[in-house]
Amino acid sequence: MQPAAAKWYDRPDCVFVEFCVEDSRDVQVKFDKSKIDFGCVIGTDDIKHENTLDLFGEIDPKGSKHRRTDRSVMCCLRKAEPGKPWPRLTKDKTKCNWLSVDFNNWKDWEDDSDEDMSRYDKFSEMMNSMEGDDLCDLDEHYSADSDDE
Report which DSSP code applies to 56. S
pLDDT digits (tens, 9 = 90+) for 62-77: 999 999 999 999 999 9
pLDDT bracket for residue 139 (50, 70, 90): very low
Flag whether pLDDT at 134 surpasses 70. no
Residue 111's pLDDT is: 60
Q: Taking residues 74-81, what's their average pLDDT? A: 96
Domains, the chain: 6-101 (2.60.40.790)
| CA contacts within 13 A on the Cβ side of 101 | 10
Write out the DSSP string of 105-116. T---GGG--HHH
Strands 47-54 and 35-42: antiparallel
Residue 106's pLDDT is: 81
